[in-house]
Amino acid sequence: MQKLTTYTNRKRIPGEYHLVSYKTKEYDLLLKYNKIQVTQDESEIILKWMARSCKMKLNINFRNCNHSWGGKRHNKPFVTIANSDKFVGTLVHEFSHAHNCNFDSGKNHNDGFVRTQDKFIRKFHNSKAREIVTIKERHN
C-alpha cells in the first residue's frame, strides 16, 4: 500500500499526535471534532454506534486517569476514555485503535492507523450519530 504524504507545514491538532496531524487526509474534520466535548452518556452512544456499525463487540470503560486508550484487552476490542478527555476526536481515535487491534498491536500511529481513523471520522461526520453534536458545534 502506498505511503501517506506527510504535510509538515500543518499545525498539530490539539489532542492529537504530531504524526497523525501531519498525515491525515481529514485534517479539517479532526480539528473540528477534537474541539467538541461530549458527556459520558453521549460518548457511550457514539462509541456503541461505531461498534454496531462495524459489527464489533466493544468493551467501553470511563476512568479518572491521565490518558484515553484503545486496543485489545483480554483478547477483545476495548477503549478506556479518561473522564477529562471526552472529545469526539478522541473517541474516534481510540475506537480506531480498538478496530485496528485485529490487524496490529493497536499501539502505533502508522499509515494504516491514520487511514482507519480517517475512515471513521468521515463515517461519523456523515452519519446520524453526528446529530449528537449539532448544537455543540454552534457554540464552538
Strand-by-strand arrangement of the 69-73 sheet: 59-63, 76-82, 69-73
Read off the CATH number of the domain in which 46 is found.
Answer: 3.30.2010.10
Is it the case that residue 100 has pLDDT exceeding 50?
yes
Q: Is residue 83 part of a domain?
A: yes
Strand partners, 62: 81
pLDDT at 134: 60
Three-class SS of residue 104? Answer: coil
The single residue listed with the C-alpha cell 480506531 is 96
Q: How many domains does the chain have?
A: 1
Question: What mean pLDDT do residues 19-23 have?
Answer: 94
Question: Tens of pLDDT along 33-76?
Answer: 999 999 999 999 999 999 999 999 999 999 998 899 999 888 89
Q: Please state the pTM of the whole predicted model.
A: 0.89
What is the pLDDT of the chain when averaged over all its residues?
A: 88
C-alpha cell at 7: 504535510
Q: Is residue 42 part of a domain?
A: yes
**CA 40, 41, 46, 47 torsion: positive or negative?**
positive
Q: Is residue 28 part of a domain?
A: no
Q: Is residue 79 part of a domain?
A: yes
pLDDT at 38: 92
The single residue listed with the C-alpha cell 504524526 is 19
